[in-house]
Structure 1
């Protein structure tokens, strides 16, 4: 028993020695982290009681006097977040959603000094914003590190203001890199188990050398609190955004004009690839840079300007970061053979929201003439819809409740098998079928639902 006791003590001591001592690091870093409080004025006005169960009934007039006595005029909402000083002249990096549409932005430093900040520039697509406070003396600024060099398993420290509790320190490790969580087209998040909660948004994620390697921006939570999964924008992405915001107040992104999709293992085998990699071109924008360079639908983009495209979502981020006007080499696979073309990168048009201009990945919030958005039919949807292997089509991923499709009886989760008797086996097929409608205002859909198949007639004038 004595021997066992000594063994346990030895293990505990070794474990303690392996854990990093963060006291000196945190003491040095606290001054570069700030508390951000924003306020926004909203105009009030007399209106009918929202969600009034007695609306349009004899009882409605009983409730209106209460609405009339409610405060009218300006109402104020407040938001709390964090930020990190990245320049001694008072430039602070934070999340766009922390300061977006704010009427006033107050910044509190660790020494309790408060300043009113102005927005230098913001970029909703990356959820980053650059603000500045008026300072007479130089501030301590954080050092920006290299998020590409950080490895999974590396220790990290988050400092911020979760739930308004200023200068709170949490630690953990990098759990994963290159995460996409559906927030936009330019996703390459660092995942960490360092506790991140509401109020941490915009705050820095440090490595053990005190370098900022990420900007904390999101949590995965069913309760609104910490669940061991947080996400940070890689600082290498932020560097490019900050440089542009500082010089012009806006961000310009590259664009080549292609629609892309993921290369599955099945597609890889059919295309002559040993492994599933690259971005499969599903559409080429007319008169766009890619078409002018000779890119065709069915090509697989393997490298862009010397950078490997491991996964489909790598391409939009790399293209977006490429300087507009540059002519760059693009390695593609066509008919089982690799070749290289030169593409001159243009500026991302305002109506596009993806660097690769993919209709399937861009404009995620927009719907088509039927008021729907479709996606490829996967195994999960096939199981959920009790569909046989012979059913092929596209899934209604999003539907406008006021759109023509919804009014005709179409539902989210339905699988569209054909459009006007033209089979659709992919989102690209569906888009082509919709493009052929022209002036035809009547659409006949064959839809798989709950293990059966039915026809739905949609009138686009509805």
Structure 2
């Protein structure tokens, strides 16, 4: 299996747990005595009762066999062992089938789906786990350390953050204290309790490898070297004080199993989601209406930013808060209400964590200067799709010569400028040299050259001729409706 980041319970070939001896800490002369040895026994004794095993079942929805049983008998299912280890949601995996020889009684059509973990966050039965542990399940059962099995119901589940809130009836349940993941340090010991391969309340340990890892889900994951295996998904990541600091959710793997890199959802992010799930059963997020990209080192240098930070606006959707406030393609968002934006993922997180209807101020970098843009956030829609077809570029004029960057451009028609909502701009009709190495293509529309608006092909060529080509040149490019900065290095 190729390298991938995958969720632990069963949505891809994945693992879901923690299971391995923690790595030794290198000790130096200045190492505090308290870090020389960590004894987890007391922590486990306090935390263990609050961790639960989660078992899910589903009713088969496939065609019925001649005897009323769907498909082949479970005891002859060649995928059953694989399913037990990795869960039922592996792509193209046949659904499990009940055994027609099973004794009568109970719900014969109900078949095992998978196992996971969770933990109490309140004495009245609220449990945090992963969305992918309970998603699609018809029945959910929770097993406590005293061997009681209780039926649970889903209060709410959020696919985007992979957080789910479920509840069992009753009171007096032990709960885990909530820690502060922001205070975690690289190299700090952490531990987990869960049910790898169904082995209930297994304890594993390791260290924090990194913080604020972006795996594409726009969550600032905690990366650890705690061994992760199927069944620990949804279980707690604990610090040495016994406080939960994360929910184990994903692994990085080439084989489907643990390979020394696992990820946990920071508990503060999970609690923020669970509070909304508890209140309304759904999560409401702030929405700008833009498509974003990161600022590279070359772009930052070429635009005079000093260092790569912020997020580039590459598309502004019509009739959105961003469009109404005048946010423009090519703007670089540096701060949200004074809070620094490190990158694209950080901006997405900050906006998502603000309630819809909130008025905010963005500090943006535009044409070499900072300015403030104030707007009111809308609610993020469930799905958004915005695609544009390509354009057939015009041909280069006869006897046209490429400029020093290797580009031949032509002026845009009035209709094209109106369509793109711009006053100037030029279209690339031929690419060679440094521009080709930078990735520019025929059909690209150039909007800015080193923070200066491009008004015509003649003016663009003049800008190129006057530029210091020993330095990185940055052009703002519209390609099929998506706008982004492209750094060009004239001399290699």
Q: TM-score normalized by structure 2?
A: 0.65
Contact residue 43 and residue 74 of structure 1 kept, 8 A: no
1:129 to 146, 160, 164: 164
TM-superposed CA distance for 1:227, in Å, is 1.4
Q: Deviation string for 1:65-94 (max 9, x for gaps)? A: xxxxx9799573411100010010000000
| 1:144 partner SS | coil
| 2:291 partner SS | strand
| 1:87 partner SS | coil
- Structure 1 residues 115 and 17: CA distance shift in structure 2, 3 A: same
1:27 to 41, 45, 48: 45
TM-superposed CA distance for 1:343, in Å, is 1.7
1:192 to 192, 203, 224: 224
TM-superposed CA distance for 1:15, in Å, is 9.2
Within 1, Cα distance between the matches of 2:233 and 2:320?
A: 37
Within 1, Cα distance between the matches of 2:388 and 2:109?
A: 38
Gaps of 5+ in 2: 1-28, 66-70, 73-98, 102-107, 391-431, 447-474, 483-492
Contact residue 389 and residue 480 of structure 2 kept, 8 A: no
Within 1, Cα distance between the matches of 2:48 and 2:110?
A: 34
Which residue matches 2:139? 104
Q: TM-score normalized by structure 1?
A: 0.69
| 1:82 partner SS | strand
Which residue matches 2:422? none
| Greater alpha carbon shift after TM alignment, 222-231 vs 423-432 | 423-432
Which residue matches 1:41? 59
Which residue matches 2:481? 432
Contact residue 205 and residue 215 of structure 1 kept, 8 A: yes
| Cα root mean square deviation, aligned | 3.1
Within 1, Cα distance between the matches of 2:434 and 2:114?
A: 50
- Structure 1 residues 246 and 427: CA distance shift in structure 2, 3 A: farther
Within 2, Cα distance between the matches of 1:16 and 1:310?
A: 34
Q: Deviation string for 1:174-208 (max 9, x for gaps)? A: 101111223x3x32111001122111100000111
Within 1, Cα distance between the matches of 2:383 and 2:438?
A: 28
| 1:316 partner SS | helix
1:248 to 262, 266, 280: 280
Which residue matches 1:445? none
Contact residue 444 and residue 477 of structure 2 kept, 8 A: no
Between Structure 1 and Structure 2, how many residues are aligned?
346
Which residue matches 1:295? 327
Is 1:215 the counterpart of 2:251? The answer is no
| 1:267 partner SS | helix
Contact residue 85 and residue 142 of structure 1 kept, 8 A: yes
Higher relative contact order (CA 8 A, sep 6+): 2
Q: Deviation string for 1:347-388 (max 9, x for gaps)? A: 0022239xxxxx6xxxxxxx8779xxxxxxxxxxxxxxxx98
Within 2, Cα distance between the matches of 1:43 and 1:74?
A: 10
Within 1, Cα distance between the matches of 2:144 and 2:110?
A: 27
Q: Deviation string for 1:116-149 (max 9, x for gaps)? A: 10000000111110000112x3111111111122
Which residue matches 1:351? 383
2:201 to 167, 171, 178: 167
Within 1, Cα distance between the matches of 2:201 and 2:292?
A: 43
Which residue matches 2:451? none
Is 1:148 the counterpart of 2:182? The answer is yes
| 1:220 partner SS | strand
Within 2, Cα distance between the matches of 1:295 and 1:16?
A: 51
- Structure 1 residues 340 and 432: CA distance shift in structure 2, 3 A: closer
Within 2, Cα distance between the matches of 1:215 and 1:344?
A: 32
Contact residue 393 and residue 417 of structure 1 kept, 8 A: no
TM-superposed CA distance for 1:325, in Å, is 0.9
Within 2, Cα distance between the matches of 1:37 and 1:369?
A: 47
Question: 1:372-387 residue pairs with structure 2 within 5 A?
Answer: none
Contact residue 213 and residue 222 of structure 2 kept, 8 A: yes
- Structure 1 residues 300 and 17: CA distance shift in structure 2, 3 A: closer
1:178 to 208, 212, 217: 212
